[in-house]
Amino acid sequence: MTDDSIYDSLADEHGGDARWAFGTGFDDPLSGVDTAVPDGVDPGDVAAYSLMLADDALVMSQRLTEWCTNAPELEEEVALANIGLDLLGQARLLLARAGAADPSLPRRLAPDLPHEDALAYFRGPADYRNVTLVEVDNGDFARSAARLLVFSTWRLALLDRLTGSRDAVLAAVAAKGVKEVTYHRDYAARWVVRLGDGTTTSHERIAAGLEATWPHVAELFASSDIELRLAAAGIGVDLAELRGEFDDVMAQVLVPAGLPHPVIGSTVDNGGRSGRHTDALAALLEEMQGLARAHPEATW
């Protein structure tokens, strides 16, 4: 691997083939970034952490694509598709980082494919490390708006802190992501206010959407051992530090929307980070991975 481009290195390793998620004509935003794992840090921890961040984005992106042809208005369909593409881009970079930090991860899954493809398409649900918030079914548009607000508020706070990571790749991905997720949060917040301060029906639906989303909130702030180790090493973020900012932002949205802050109980463990998922993830991955698994040697 060279320090010039993580994608050039991956392409060279696989003979320059364009496959699945790797695509063609990809403009590498990490060009010139030092891809070495910082001294004193376990590459396996960096790989695992990158998978966590990647899986959050990848699964949320897949859920958002389900609104294509189903959104209430064409404008919203385009907006949700673009948000999904932003998250897919983040996932690609992070999956590539995971494979570069620990090449044994993708090689034992699909040794002939680029790292990001192997990790996206050939891991089962128990090997995914996303938070459960992103995997549950969309529900109606109001529930999806509520989930997007919760997710983007949390992820923006996380990425903002990650821009100071000692890992240059993670810092660069975060810097790119901050610009994208700022829009995601604004889009979701506008819809939550619009629905909450709208008709009786829209108010009831967004309130129900928040209640359905809230059981998954506590998990967002429960750091795994890997996250805590990397936070102490200046690589990652201690999720508990994000809660104050998250609550402040949510209050700024919920008050003008006329919505109470949800108080419904939630699970406090980090089950998704440990590979414990809802049944919804298996169905989602079956759809997302089916074509790649059926034709692993296909190219675009």
Model confidence at 194: pLDDT above 60: yes
Per-residue pLDDT at 255: 96
Decide if 50 contacts 151 (C-beta within 8 A): no
Mean pLDDT of the chain: 89
Model confidence at 20: pLDDT above 70: no
Model confidence at 15: pLDDT above 50: no
Decide if 273 contacts 129 (C-beta within 8 A): yes
The pLDDT of 99-121, averaged and rounded, is 92
Q: Which tokens belong to 144?
A: 């999806």
The pLDDT of 255-277, averaged and rounded, is 81
**Confidence bin at 207 (pLDDT 50/70/90):** very high
Per-residue pLDDT at 258: 97
Chain segment 81-94, per-residue pLDDT in tens: 999 999 999 999 99
Exposure letters 212-246 (e unless 16+ CB within 10 A, then b): bbbbbbebbbbbbebbebbbebebbbebeebeebb
3-state SS class at 3: coil
DSSP string, 227-262: HHHHHHTTSS--GGGGHHHHHHHHHHHHHHHT-PPP
Which helix (H) or strand (E) element contains residue 125?
A: none
Chain segment 52-75, per-residue pLDDT in tens: 999 999 999 999 999 888 888 888
Percent of the chain clearing pLDDT 70 (strictly above): 87
**Confidence bin at 17 (pLDDT 50/70/90):** very low
The count of C-alpha atoms lying within 13 angstroms of the C-alpha of 249, restricted to the half-sphere facing its C-beta, is 21
* Domain limits, the chain: 6-294
Q: Which tokens belong to 160?
A: 């903002």
Of the candidates 129, 70, 130, 87, which has an alpha carbon nearest to the alpha carbon of residue 105?
Answer: 129
Decide if 131 contacts 200 (C-beta within 8 A): no
Q: Which fold has domain 6-294?
A: Ferritin (1.20.1260)
Per-residue pLDDT at 12: 46
Model confidence at 2: pLDDT above 70: no
Per-residue pLDDT at 267: 54
The pLDDT of 17-21, averaged and rounded, is 41
